[in-house]
Amino acid sequence: MSKYNQLRPVAFRLNRDAVSDKPEFAAYPFWTLGLPESLKQELLKIIANAANRSIDNVHLPVRVLNSAVRMLIPNLIAIEHYAGRINTQPWLYGFVSPDSGYPASSEAVSFLIRSWIRTALPPNIPPATLRTVTQQITADMLQWKRETMDLTHWTCAGNGYSPDDGTAIPYEKGTSHNGFVLWPDLIAARLSHTRLHWGRHNLAFRRVPTGQGQHGVELASWPPLEERVDEQIWPYSVLLTLTLQTIPFQNFPVLHCDIGIRRWAGPKVYLPKKVETSVYLLDQVPWIQGLPHNQCFQVAPIKWGYVPANQGTGESGRSRLGWGSDLIPLLDDLHLGKHVFPDPQEITHACGPMTIFLQVPEDFEQRLRVMLLAVGYWGQTSSLATCTGVTRTPPVPGECATTLALLDEGVVLRPYFSCLATEFRSDQLSWYDIVPDDGTQRTEALRLDIYVWPMIIDYRHGAQKLLVRTPLVGNPQ
């Protein structure tokens, strides 16, 4: 069994006397949002009528809604797993961010709920009935509520002798005041805005949303650290899991901090065929209008599926990645006619070796060799591709992009990807040919050509394409 001499769980006890006069402890702020009881009642009646059952024997498919919320809405502390039950509130807890207001606008949440109703409820419900319900949902029904809780106060279960003894109870039953949710959020908020020194590393952390019904907060260090093993680079993050816990007959709660490692997809990734795999998303812009942009991770499930053969185009059947099956209709409905949600097959990055051919003057080769080996990564910072070696090797004919004028006349062009590209018109250009001074006559430093790439379009998703490398030799298979 592996031993980690420097990774140990730690627990902290609150010093009430030291923090009782501090407002961030005595009146800790947070957001809550409830799933309207009237809406739940109406939907349960519709499902019961469609199934010919009593209202007590049906349930709302709230798991699909919660999965979409976890994927799309940042700034959340917790998601209530049983929010579909009557009189179970609140549905969402959100943390108060100094950079933004609500975790999501009421319009964005109502947009999400309408899509959930249209796509996740039983298919035998008449579309007209669903349309009537969705038209009744307004932003006024989904208003966030800012609340505060005194984290320095809790009660005890009593031990038969004194009400101040026995197991600590850090929550108020029937309310949103829940220390199991809010205590970890307080510490996570502090850690997210500071850096921790760990050995030679200076770590910054980002939040990771927990699963439905789970209390506590996860923080992952970002950007990832790297471990080199046998010329392979393995990225990983330090993981902090914060949970508030109680111990039987102990009259105070303790905050546990479990320290671990989260390994990211390295040189070779295996995704099991029959189960869903969670992936982390760190987007540049919100998926839905009305959602704030922040520095939190979002989590979504992906799963292998099978695309049958297409006799019309001659494409054979193949396996490909897609979002979790329950989410696909909802995501398609959210962006129908407006945007195309990214396809998992497109955001999975390639693994294995990559070859880049550079044609350079012979006397410049050694200087360029040193520079290439010093490059930390190629492309985006998330690509994790480094230069492992430089050799003098000519490219295989047909495996590099080439201009249309130089292409073999026997190659069938139609399947290949082609585009317009610019190139310097000469290798004898000076700096002033590219950036002329006021007294220098402007020249055409670039020439425009049609380039054909040794890649064919494997499939299309909206306006996006997946390209597969295929040599420019003969007809592609």
Question: Using one digit for the tens of pLDDT, what is the confidence trace for 42-84?
Answer: 999 999 999 999 988 999 999 888 888 887 787 788 888 888 9
Identify the residue whose tokens are 């009646």.
45
Report d(CA 202, CA 24) in Å as an integer: 26
Close Cβ partners of 28 (under 8 Å, ≥ 6 residues apart)? 148, 149, 150, 151, 182, 186
Report d(CA 258, CA 262) in Å as an integer: 12
Give, as one character, the DSSP assignment of residue 475.
S
Q: Give the full edge-to-edge strand order of the sheet including 298-307.
A: 277-281, 298-307, 318-323
Highest mean pLDDT among 25-34, 367-376, 459-468: 25-34
* pLDDT level of residue 40 (50, 70, 90 thresholds): very high
Contact call for residues 288 and 306 (beta carbons, < 8 A) = no
pLDDT at residue 32, as a whole number: 93
* Alpha helices, DSSP H, located in 284-419: 328-334, 344-347, 365-374
**Token pair for 264:** 């990211």
* pLDDT level of residue 337 (50, 70, 90 thresholds): very low
Report d(CA 156, CA 250) in Å as an integer: 9
Please state the domain extents for the chain.
158-268, 277-347, 362-469
- pLDDT, one tens digit per residue, over 89-99 is 999 998 887 66
Report d(CA 59, CA 65) in Å as an integer: 13
Sequential DSSP letters for 236-293: EEEEEEEEEE--TT-SS-EEEEEEEEEEPP-SS----SSS-EEEEE--SS-SSTTPPP
For residue 18, which phi and psi values (nearest 5 degrees)?
-80, -25
Report d(CA 102, CA 294) in Å as an integer: 12
